[in-house]
Amino acid sequence: MSTETLADAETTGLFELPAKYRELQEQARELAVSVRDIAARADESSSTDPDVRARLAASRLTELAVPKRWGGRFDAVDSLAMTVVREQLAAESGHLDSMFAMQGIGSYGLAVAGSDAVRDKWLPQVASLDAIAALCLTEPHVGSDLKALSTTAVVDGDQIVVNGHKSFITNGGDAAIYSVLTREGDGYSLILVPADTPGLRTERPHQIIAPHVLSDVIFEDVRVPIDHRIGEPGKGFSLVLATLATFRVSVAGASVGMAEAALRLALEHANNRNQFGGPLSRLGSVPEHLASCWTDIEAARSLTYRAAAAAARDPLAGLHLSSMAKVYATEMCGRVVDRSVQIMGRFGITRGTDIERLYREARPTRIYEGSTEVIFDSLAKQLIKRGL
């Protein structure tokens, strides 16, 4: 075998997605295109859009959010699968992307550490989207500093009593189950609370610039059976960390999808708009902006896929890569969408357009699931402690 042939054999597919992920990518693209007719409406909604939910359920992609034992697609939740799917969904609809992602984020702790009875009841419903899942972490006065939370869990006989106030909870008000991070004794526990439990109520005092299914969730002497504690008492933070390790990188995937969608819109506009005797795409700094955006997107995608593949093998060992990908891709997305708006001029800042919607969707990604500043602080501590 010649040197050239040997090199070809060894590198074929080295930087390409394996076939099963390309198939998922295509399924996700088909679903995303299928909601294009209702995406603008759904993305302005503060509650779950029934048509988006029906189409997502019919696609069966939410099976990726839970392990195979409870109706999932794979033996374990696969970070790379979640990431490539989110890349396609977010390019068309933030509402669709969030609905898909939160099925995994809201149920992951339960899947890895819940009691068999509770998992057997709820996880098949999460996989089929018959039950919407949510994760309750933040509070009115607690954001990134989760150890300052005040929601409590107290054992009373064969029950656990939860009291507290969670804020800015995705899927709040529409979820069937809430995984709630609480203070229990000297530690922190994750408690599964069904939405119809007496004493639980939701309020919607806030909305963000890219409308979202979002609410405060209030617990007043909420009682659940003791087997609704997820994992060991006081070990809830480890489950939250495991959730972030598995799903944080998927935010990077969604950001790559949004950036590519924005660039596609900008390129179409620039090619079809004539200014000063020629297409805008050949005028002044516009070509440089287009090429820079394309380069940024491909760089972010490469890091994102690498991080997602590492997370699929060992989420906690690859958390630093997932964090890097999340920061890089979300910051990249902000730059690319902003440049795309600039290229499109007044058409880029017109209300009700796809690019305006992407502009609003892109901004929150740099804050949720770890803000850029908090992640950089964590990465710096790791680098200083252990070196490269």
pLDDT, position 145: 86
Q: Are 146 and 181 in contact (CB under 8 A)?
A: yes
Rounded to whole angstroms, the Cα distance separating 136 from 216 reads 9
Q: Are 321 and 307 in contact (CB under 8 A)?
A: yes
With left for phi above 0 and alpha for psi between -120 and 50, is residue 157 left, alpha or beta?
left
pLDDT, position 2: 40
Phi, psi of 141 (to 5 degrees): -115, 15
State both tokens at 365. Answer: 């990604």
Q: Is 92 helix (H, G, I), strand (E, B) or coil?
A: coil
Query: At residue 185, what is the residue type?
Result: G
Q: Is 345 helix (H, G, I), strand (E, B) or coil?
A: helix
pLDDT, position 226: 98
Q: What is the largest CA-CA distance in the chain?
A: 80
Q: Are 64 and 7 in contact (CB under 8 A)?
A: no
Rounded to whole angstroms, the Cα distance separating 144 from 156 reads 30
Rounded to whole angstroms, the Cα distance separating 55 from 51 reads 6
pLDDT, position 13: 66
pLDDT, position 129: 98
Residues with Cβ within 8 Å of 4's Cβ and at least 6 positions away in sequence, in order, are none
State both tokens at 36. Answer: 């294009």
pLDDT, position 128: 98
Residues of the chain whose pLDDT is less than 50? 1-9, 11
Rounded to whole angstroms, the Cα distance separating 242 from 256 reads 23
pLDDT tens digits, residue range 239-249? Answer: 999 999 999 99
DSSP label at 167? Answer: E
pLDDT, position 273: 87
